[in-house]
């Protein structure tokens, strides 16, 4: 009879432990569904129209943002070229999915901007269905301030990737330039190239490589002239790119 209180105590303790375990399991299960219920897989959107992709992502609790637009000869206009995150990626609901939209094949003729006033050039681009890209300014005493000196891509260019045109504009001689258009340095002597870059305050690095001797030919085709030692073989950034004094130009040079 004296042992009954001990029996009751252990029964109550066991019951409490079971209740605690059940409560803990329920909490873990609730947290699992709360966490994973808020996660979704990013669907495959490539090839879909932007409207269909927006509907697809909205149904999963995701938002869609058209981040870029490119010309494409393979994907019809208004359809999606690429996406980020990739299909199948698990993300939280309300995640932003960024896509690139196809503009279809290039049908717009790139107008010639060189010689035009900067404001007129910007208006001409918009009327042509193009966008104004980056604008660099270069002191140039031989042209009126605000005149377009160069453009990238050039006039009437075909197979361009993006619907935008970068401009280089004349600035007063007393203005420090905020950018340059990278010239084509391939074939030039590296000593001359380094002097040009140093003159405008741009640093460069050189990587000298061996160049195989070009065969003379069999007489049916004209011989290919050998590459001169010290000639630039490749450059980064490429010609037409916008650079400034923070840019480091990398040159590949023939030994």
pLDDT-based confidence at residue 32 (cuts at 50, 70, 90): low
CATH of domain 39-102: 3.30.10.20
pLDDT at residue 215 greater than cutoff 80: no
CATH of domain 182-254: 3.30.10.20
Same fold: 118-171 with 182-254:
yes
Do 255 and 209 form a contact (C-beta atoms < 8 A)? yes
pLDDT (average), residues 52-60: 93
Residue-by-residue DSSP string for 166-197: EEEEEE-TTSPPS-EEPP--TTSBHHHHHHHH
pLDDT (tens digit per residue) in 95-120:
999 999 999 999 899 999 999 999 99
pLDDT at residue 8 greater than cutoff 70: no
Q: Which residue has the higher pLDDT, 232 or 210?
A: 232
pLDDT at 103: 92
Q: What is the token pair recorded at 195?
A: 């002097």
Q: Which residue has the higher pLDDT, 4 or 93?
A: 93
pTM score > 0.75 for this model? no
Query: What number of CA atoms fall less than 13 Å from residue 221's CA on the CB side?
Result: 6
SS (H, E, C) the chain: CCCHHHHHHHHHHHHHHHHHHHHHHHHHHHHHHHHHCCEEECCCCCCCEHHHHHHHHHHCCCEEEEEEEECCCCCCCCEEEEEECCCCCEEECCCEEEEEEECCCCCCCCCCCCCCEHHHHHHHHHHCCCEEEEEEEEECCCCCCCEEEEEECCCCCCCCCCCEEEEEEEECCCCCCCCEECCCCCCCEHHHHHHHHHHCCCEEEEEEECCCCCCCCCCCCCCCCCCCCCEEEEEECCCCCEECCCCEEEEEEEC
Do 47 and 75 form a contact (C-beta atoms < 8 A)? yes
pLDDT at 116: 95
pLDDT (tens digit per residue) in 130-169:
999 888 888 887 888 999 999 999 999 988 888 999 999 9
pLDDT-based confidence at residue 214 (cuts at 50, 70, 90): low
Largest pairwise CA distance in the chain: 120
Coil vs helix vs strand at 17: helix
pLDDT at 175: 57
pLDDT-based confidence at residue 219 (cuts at 50, 70, 90): low
Domain boundaries, the chain: 39-102, 118-171, 182-254
- Rounded CA-CA distance 245/177 in Å is 9
pLDDT at residue 243 greater than cutoff 60: yes
Strands 232-236 and 248-254: antiparallel
CATH of domain 118-171: 3.30.10.20
Query: What number of CA atoms fall less than 13 Å from residue 150's CA on the CB side?
Result: 15
């Amino acid at each position: 009879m004296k042992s009954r209180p001990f029996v009751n105590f252990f029964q109550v303790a066991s019951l409490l432990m079971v209740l605690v375990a059940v409560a803990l399991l329920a909490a873990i299960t609730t947290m699992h569904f709360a966490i994973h219920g808020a996660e979704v897989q990013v669907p495959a959107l490539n090839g879909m129209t932007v409207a269909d992709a927006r509907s697809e992502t909205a149904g999963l609790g995701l938002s869609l943002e058209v981040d870029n637009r490119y010309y494409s000869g393979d994907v019809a206009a208004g359809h999606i070229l690429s996406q980020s995150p990739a299909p199948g990626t698990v993300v939280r609901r309300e995640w932003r999915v960024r896509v690139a939209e196809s503009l279809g094949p290039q049908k717009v003729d790139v107008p010639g901007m060189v010689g035009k006033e900067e404001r007129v050039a910007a208006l001409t681009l918009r009327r042509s269905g193009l966008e104004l890209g980056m604008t660099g300014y270069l002191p140039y005493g031989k042209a009126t301030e605000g005149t377009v000196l160069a453009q990238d891509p050039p006039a009437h260019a075909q197979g361009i990737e993006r619907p935008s045109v970068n401009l280089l504009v004349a600035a007063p001689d007393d203005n420090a330039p905020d950018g340059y258009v990278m010239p084509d340095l391939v074939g030039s002597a590296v000593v001359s190239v380094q002097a040009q870059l140093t003159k405008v305050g741009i640093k460069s690095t050189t990587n000298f490589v061996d160049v195989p001797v070009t065969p003379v030919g069999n007489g049916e085709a004209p011989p290919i002239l050998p590459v001169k030692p010290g000639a630039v073989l490749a450059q980064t950034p490429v010609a037409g790119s916008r650079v400034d004094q923070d840019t480091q130009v990398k040159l590949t040079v023939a030994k």
